[in-house]
Structure 1
Amino acid sequence: METPAQYFSFALSPNGHDLAFSRVAKDGTTDLWVRDLARGSESRLAVGAYDAQWSPDGARLVYTAAEGGPPPRLFIKDVAGAHGPSELGKSPVPNFATGWSGDGRYIVSTRIGTTTGSDVWLQRMPNGDAERLPFNTPFNETDGKLSTDSRWIAYVTDGSGDDDVWIASFPAGETRRQVSTRGGKSPQWGANEREI
């Protein structure tokens, strides 16, 4: 009896025409696929890849993979396949893509450090210069998502003992507000920037 495929890490393109997703293959590897929603056709974009995030113009995807060996790092690939993947910066620790700014200038990720736990980081485009964002605490911060105008960043922290969604002003993080009070994960911004 054949086991059904496992799908996860879905990301809808900005124009709503394509869906990026990860699928676990029969051999246990996770591959990144893109599905044309109108035609129903699928193409494999990368082997051993997951956590894809679309560029604002829908032409590229940033994703996480361990190409060339661990740890998992960030790669960018042209969706049309004209260019091979390029590594975004160099991270000595696992680095997972979580968002791309609306103006295309920043990629947000979660890095898992050996002494700091999980923290939200920012990679500046096009060279991938990285910085740890100032709102990080000794607790775990993950799932950073920038608002479309890049004035706010939503993220998850476990500082209270449970995962909760917070927002912080971007990039300095001086203003911080708790959004969820009884747990929360995977924040997504609404179209008008007033909803999460």
Structure 2
Amino acid sequence: MATSCSNSSTGPDPDPGATTGALKVDITTTGSGTDDDGYEVVLEDQSVSVETNGSATFDDLDEGTYNITINGLGSGCSVDGENPISAQITAGETTNANFEVICEQFSAEGIIAFSQTVDQQLEIFTVKPDGTELQQLTNFSLQDQYPVISPDGKKIVFSRQDKDSPTVDNDIWVMNIDGSNAIKLTDNTVDDKRPSWSPDGSQIVFESGKNSFSIYVMDADGSNQTQLTDDEGQDHSASWSADNKIAFVSDRQGDSSADIYQMDADGSNAAILISAESDNGINLSNPAWSPDGSQIVYQGFASGGSPRIFLADAEGSNIQMIEPDGNNNDARQPSWSPDGNYITFLELANSENSDAIWIIEPDGLNAIRLTDNEANRLGFPRWGIEAN
């Protein structure tokens, strides 16, 4: 396992006149999986690429304590022990540090739908959870976004800004999983966005409004549209749980932030599930229930100002921030894998990288980047099953 370093000398006896020391980092990889492209070993502001069973040496280090981190872990790989670890450098000596990495065979199933810009317009795409079989499903010339795969894996419901609409508002549409047979479900001359399927696929919940949004529900064919919330605040980002609860986001408290609420499927018994505060995240959004309904993930702004992913029990307790083991400064719009073993999320571009879809384990380990396209903007990844 990875352990903190103790000073040990290799090679000739220490030079009593030396003013700097060295660090040798050894990596051993075991398990049924592989990580073909190796890892990155980071020592303060230095980094070195290392093979899966290899080593890196850092010379001319001033005496003192240094932090060592291993990054670039592939699918199913994790460090057995602490990461980062610390090393005490002594002048004239070489300090040894060891990491043990365990790689298990990656076996995430299903398919991820998301939006990506094409010629500056958002279109719907799908990709396998290993990053393969990227497919463009729409080519509409305006905005297609918020795709959600149906519980049976056969359809995708999404929001479309209709080029033929005189008000250019968003409507809810549905199409086959291959992008064919797109059908408009709403035509309300207001913005209808962020749809979510009921657990049995018979209904769709969504947000609707012009200046103030409320939560609505309708049958899967667009009929029987019914308003569930009616508040002066903004109610949006609804998500349906396996036990027939609906989580949504609202700023109805009037405190310039947004909390996560929960209500019954008929709109009754609405109450705060998670309050926006420093430990829970600020200005909460994008809640998503785990497949078994026992947990919920959501987006919140951390105390440092960056959007992060938070995980809580279904009752809103035991809240913890998920910190990916890569160098991700921004994490938002989470969604669960169908088996509940992984979470996909979006990382928006900063000055050093591009928009990207990632997957990660709920404990924050094994962050894997699925997309690598610097030219386009991405958004709203949602994981679903593949139809038989």
TM-score (structure 2 length as normaliser): 0.45
Per the alignment, residue 15 of structure 1 pairs with: 200
Per the alignment, residue 283 of structure 2 pairs with: 94
Distance 2:262 2:237 in 1: 12
CA distance change for structure 1 residues 129 and 89 in 2, over 3 Å: closer, same or farther? farther
Pairing 1:129-140 to 2, within 5 Å after superposition: 129-135=318-324, 139-140=329-330
Secondary structure of the residue aligned to 1:88 is strand
Corresponding letter in the other structure for 1:73: D
Secondary structure of the residue aligned to 1:189 is strand
Per the alignment, residue 335 of structure 2 pairs with: 145
Distance 2:316 2:236 in 1: 21
CA distance change for structure 1 residues 14 and 191 in 2, over 3 Å: closer, same or farther? same
CA distance change for structure 1 residues 97 and 128 in 2, over 3 Å: closer, same or farther? farther
Secondary structure of the residue aligned to 2:252 is coil
Per the alignment, residue 301 of structure 2 pairs with: 112
Pairing 1:164-175 to 2, within 5 Å after superposition: 164-169=356-361, 171-175=362-366
Distance 1:33 1:63 in 2: 11
Distance 1:39 1:75 in 2: 25
Q: Is 1:189 aligned with 2:383?
A: yes
CA distance change for structure 1 residues 109 and 39 in 2, over 3 Å: closer, same or farther? closer
**CA displacement 1:93-125 (0-9 Å, x = unmatched):** 100133110111111111023523100111212
Secondary structure of the residue aligned to 2:229 is strand
Pairing 1:38-53 to 2, within 5 Å after superposition: 40-47=223-230, 48-53=234-239
Q: Is the 8 A contact 2:335 2:382 kept in 1?
A: yes
Corresponding letter in the other structure for 2:273: L
Corresponding letter in the other structure for 2:287: T
Percent identity over the alignment is: 18
Distance 2:328 2:303 in 1: 12
Q: Is the 8 A contact 2:247 2:287 kept in 1?
A: no
Q: Is the 8 A contact 2:324 2:366 kept in 1?
A: no
Distance 1:63 1:53 in 2: 6
Corresponding letter in the other structure for 2:197: L
Q: Is the 8 A contact 2:228 2:266 kept in 1?
A: no
Secondary structure of the residue aligned to 2:269 is coil
Q: Which has the larger radius of gyration?
A: 2
CA distance change for structure 1 residues 120 and 127 in 2, over 3 Å: closer, same or farther? closer
Per the alignment, residue 63 of structure 1 pairs with: 248
**CA displacement 1:50-69 (0-9 Å, x = unmatched):** 00011013x21100001221
Match of 2:219 among 36, 41, 61: 36
Distance 2:228 2:317 in 1: 21
CA distance change for structure 1 residues 39 and 32 in 2, over 3 Å: closer, same or farther? closer
| Structure with higher RCO (Cα < 8 A, 6+ apart) | 2
Q: Is the 8 A contact 2:196 2:238 kept in 1?
A: yes
Aligned residue-pair number = 187
Give the CA RMSD over aligned residues: 2.3
CA distance change for structure 1 residues 186 and 63 in 2, over 3 Å: closer, same or farther? same
Per the alignment, residue 162 of structure 1 pairs with: 354
CA distance change for structure 1 residues 164 and 78 in 2, over 3 Å: closer, same or farther? same
